[in-house]
Structure formats: C-alpha cells, structure tokens
C-alpha cells in the first residue's frame, strides 16, 4: 500500500475518544497516517470530511461506499474486524452484548458525570463533587469486577478495557491524590497496568500538529 493510500486518522493526543481509536488501530497492526489536530484551529479538510469537527475521524481514501468514520467505536470495530491479533473482540454474541452495555454506561452516564466533575464551571456548578461521587459508585462496580478477574474483558485486556480505560484515566487525573486514597485497589492496579503498557506508550507518542498544505495557485 502506498503512503498516499493509507487510512488517515485525525486525532488529538489527550482526547479519550481518540485514545481508544488509536489503541484499536495500533493493536490491529494497521498502518495509518496520523494527523494531530489543534482543536482551536481545525484543518479545513477535517471539517470537510466531518462537519461536527470532533476527533477522532478516520478517512479511508480510495474505498468504495462509506469512506469516513466519525465515531471512535466505529473506528475500533473497523480496525479490529480487519485484524484482531490480540483477540480483543468478544467471541460470543452474549459477550459482545455485555461489552457494549458496559461501554454504553461509560459513554453515557459516566462521561456526563466526568465532564461535570472535571469542568464544573461549564455546567454552571460551584464544584463537581456530587458528580465525582456519582461516577465513583460505578467505578466501585468496576473494581469489584476487577477483583475477580484481571481485566474487564476477562483474563486479558480486550475491547471494553481499551474503550473505557482512557476515560477512567481522565477521571483519575482530575484529582490524583483523592483517587489514590479511594478503596478501589483492583481498579487502580488495572489503570496503572494500562498506563504502564507498551501499547499505551506507543499510542501516546507526541506528534507535531499537522499543517494543511497551502493551496496551489
């Protein structure tokens, strides 16, 4: 495959949605062109592909049919259906349903509470403590799961781990001292293992912001 034909990923290093897309792409072994986005100065090409202007966006040049994936889970599934050497995809329909239900809570109630905890002023709140504690109740449930098995997916890291860990990381980093003092030792160990893994190191490499080529006059 020529460089020009590589899938193009528009990404932002610290965005948890972009992180999980990069995790799946890296785990699949699919070569991509990485274009790091400055969110305050989004490339015109990104906006032309996806007017919503959020990352990640995966552009599949030269493909028939749908050639733009605008949602992180769609990118994850596309990559893992191409190649899943680590066995991240659940092997059964029931396993997939369980994984999707866990991810849905992460992307719905937990993400809502996380945003209000991390950015209370945006929601008109004096502080985010109430939402921190609501989110913590779900995290204690994850901790109970992780006391019984090594990962959310079972005995090894899988789809739901990759989809959820970047958001738990964002929650933990909002107040690291408070997070470390909580009684969720299994959850903390799981998060530390994720952050210490070579896969995480690989997808968190820094990229210079992509510069859109000047138009040819």
> What integer pLDDT is reported at residue 213 of this predicted model?
85
Give residue-wise pLDDT tens across range 123-165: 999 999 999 999 999 999 999 999 999 999 999 999 999 999 9
Residue 137 has phi, psi (to 5 degrees) of: -60, -40
Closest CA to 164 of 106, 84, 82: 106
* Token representation of residue 181: 């003092």
61-90 pLDDT per residue, tens: 876 556 999 999 999 999 999 999 999 999
Cα separation values, 158 from 29, 40, 198, Å: 15, 33, 15
Please say whether the beta carbons of 138 and 109 come within 8 A. Answer: yes
Q: Which residue has the tokens 């950015």?
A: 119
Domain limits of the chain? 3-86, 93-197
Q: Indicate whether 3 pLDDT > 60.
A: no
Percent of the chain residues topping a pLDDT of 70: 95
Tokens of 169: 């990381």
CATH number belonging to the domain at 3-86, selected among 3.40.30.10, 1.10.1060.10, 3.40.50.410, 3.30.1490.100: 3.40.30.10
At 115 the pLDDT is 98
SS3 171: helix
Please tell me the distance from the alpha carbon of residue 29 to that of residue 50, in angstroms, as a whole number. 25
**Average pLDDT over every residue of 87-110:** 98
DSSP single-letter state for residue 110: I
Rounded-to-integer distance, Cα 212 and Cα 131, Å: 39
Taking the complete model, does pTM exceed 0.85, yes or no?
yes
The residues, ordered by sequence, that sit 6+ positions from 83 with a Cβ below 8 Å of its Cβ are: 28, 29, 30
CA–CA separation, 127 and 130 (whole Å): 8
- Which residues make Cβ contacts (< 8 Å) with residue 104, sequence separation at least 6? none
Classify domain 93-197 at the CATH topology level. Glutathione S-transferase Yfyf (Class Pi); Chain A, domain 2 (1.20.1050)
Q: What element of type H or E holds 57?
A: strand 57-59
As a whole number of angstroms, the distance between CA 183 and CA 49 comes to: 45
| Structure confidence by residue, pLDDT tens digits, 152-163 | 999 999 999 999
Give the tokens for residue 195: 């952050």
As a whole-number percent, the residues of the chain with pLDDT over 90 amount to 92
């Amino acid at each position: 495959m020529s460089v020009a034909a590589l899938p193009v990923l528009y990404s932002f290093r610290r965005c948890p949605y972009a992180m999980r897309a990069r995790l799946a792409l890296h785990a699949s072994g699919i070569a991509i062109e990485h274009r790091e986005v400055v969110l305050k100065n989004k490339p015109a090409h990104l906006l032309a592909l996806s007017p919503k202007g959020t990352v990640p966006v995966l552009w599949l040049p030269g493909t028939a049919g749908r050639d733009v994936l605008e949602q992180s889970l769609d990118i994850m599934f596309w990559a893992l259906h191409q190649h899943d050497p680590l066995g991240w995809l659940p092997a059964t329909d029931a396993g997939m349903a369980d994984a999707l239900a866990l991810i849905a809570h992460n992307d719905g109630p937990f993400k809502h509470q996380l945003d209000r905890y991390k950015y209370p002023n945006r929601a008109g709140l004096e502080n985010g403590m109430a939402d921190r504690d609501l989110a913590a109740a779900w995290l204690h449930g994850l901790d109970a799961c992780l006391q019984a098995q090594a990962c959310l997916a079972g005995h090894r890291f899988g789809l739901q781990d990759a989809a959820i860990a970047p958001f738990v990381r964002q929650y933990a980093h909002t107040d690291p001292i408070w997070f470390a003092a909580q009684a969720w030792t299994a959850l903390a160990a799981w998060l530390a293992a994720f952050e210490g893994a070579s896969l995480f190191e690989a997808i968190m490499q820094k990229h210079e912001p992509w510069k859109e080529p000047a138009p040819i006059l």
